[in-house]
């Protein structure tokens, strides 16, 4: 696959040093290993190598969804990919799904949701802080997902505008205050997913879900541990990202037959 002007590439030096760069004619990208003329990338192939001014080789990779998420501009803590993966799976969303998300933050989860509902679905993302939405808009645009998202400077605890939704995803301090609105806006069997860092938040959310007739309620925590792989020295990494949050899933039950 060829690289065109305006594309994003991931310049790979090693596992710890990667750089997400927009290819723009006439510009250079500077690193501690020398600079790279971005003109030299245009017309080249993803997976090829490019040599810096200091003679150091970088591999030119096509960015994955996780690269856009990890390299996003941040004003808030993002949800980690390990948690995003579970949220996507348990929400049941896919191409054509209509999803409400609250809050947007700087758009990491929003980017992933948009990736999976495209080309015919839509993510309606609620955020009460306008300055976060501006950052999220730039991150979504860079990842090519802005067309599949409607950003809304609104408080979801005051109500959800959309109806007949496939899923409601909550990443907010008081998710239990949005459960009643989610219940009114979801399709029968639609899913609600809540991400919370503390047990107290989970308890209040689960109690509200039960009060509003949701079923199949489950709360999980995902821990991810990397491995150092070298012949004769394979072992878990000394450091790991431990607790990030608890994920609660539930489904809306239909009226009793």
* pLDDT > 70 fraction of the chain, expressed in percent and rounded: 98
Tell me what the mean pLDDT of segment 168-185 comes to: 98
- Fold observed for domain 8-63: Vcp-like ATPase; Chain A, domain 2 (3.10.330)
pTM value? 0.91
- Using only C-alpha atoms, the chain has a radius of gyration, in whole angstroms, of 21
Task: Tell me the domain boundaries of the chain.
Answer: 8-63, 67-252
Is residue 139 within 8 Å of 106, Cβ to Cβ?
A: yes
Tell me what the mean pLDDT of segment 58-69 comes to: 95
Q: Which fold has domain 67-252?
A: Rossmann fold (3.40.50)
Position 256 confidence tier, pLDDT thresholds 50, 70, 90: very low
Per residue in 1-44, pLDDT (tens digit) is 899 999 999 999 998 899 999 999 999 999 999 999 999 999 99
CA pair distance 173, 195, nearest whole angstrom: 9
Q: What is the mean pLDDT of the chain?
A: 95
At a CB cut-off of 8 Å and minimum separation 6, what does 21 contact?
8, 9, 10, 11, 29, 38
Model confidence pLDDT, tens digit, residues 101-128: 999 999 999 999 999 999 999 999 999 9
Tracing tokens 């809540």 back to the chain, one arrives at 194
Alpha helices (H) along the chain: 65-70, 81-91, 108-117, 130-142, 179-185, 199-211
> In angstroms, rounded to a whole number, what is the distance separating the alpha carbons of residues 36 and 75?
29
Are the C-beta atoms of 13 and 27 separated by less than 8 Å?
no
Say which range, 6-10, 158-162, 238-242, has the weakest mean pLDDT: 238-242
């Amino acid at each position: 696959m060829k690289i065109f002007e305006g594309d994003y590439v991931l310049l790979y030096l090693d596992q710890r040093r990667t750089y997400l760069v927009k290819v723009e004619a006439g510009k250079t990208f500077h690193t501690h290993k020398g600079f790279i003329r971005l003109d030299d990338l245009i017309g080249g192939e993803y997976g090829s190598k490019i040599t810096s001014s200091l003679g150091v080789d970088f591999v030119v990779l096509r960015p994955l969804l996780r690269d856009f998420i990890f390299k996003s501009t941040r004003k808030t803590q993002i949800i980690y990919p390990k948690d995003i993966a579970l949220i996507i799976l348990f929400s049941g969303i896919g191409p054509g799904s209509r999803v409400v998300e609250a809050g947007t933050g700087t758009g990491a989860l929003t980017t992933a949701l948009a990736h999976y509902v495209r080309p015919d679905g839509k993510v309606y993302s609620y955020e009460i802080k306008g300055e976060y939405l501006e950052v999220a808009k730039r991150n979504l645009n860079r990842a090519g997902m802005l067309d599949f998202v409607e950003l809304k400077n609104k408080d979801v605890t005051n109500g959800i505008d959309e109806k007949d939704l496939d899923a409601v995803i909550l990443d907010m301090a008081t998710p239990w205050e949005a459960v009643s609105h989610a219940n009114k806006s979801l399709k029968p069997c639609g899913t609600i997913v809540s991400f919370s860092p503390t047990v107290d938040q989970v308890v209040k959310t689960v109690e509200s879900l039960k009060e509003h007739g949701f079923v199949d309620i489950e709360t999980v925590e995902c821990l991810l541990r990397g491995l150092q792989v070298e012949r004769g020295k394979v072992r878990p990494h000394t450091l790991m990202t431990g607790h990030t949050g608890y994920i609660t899933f539930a489904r809306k039950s239909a009226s009793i037959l």
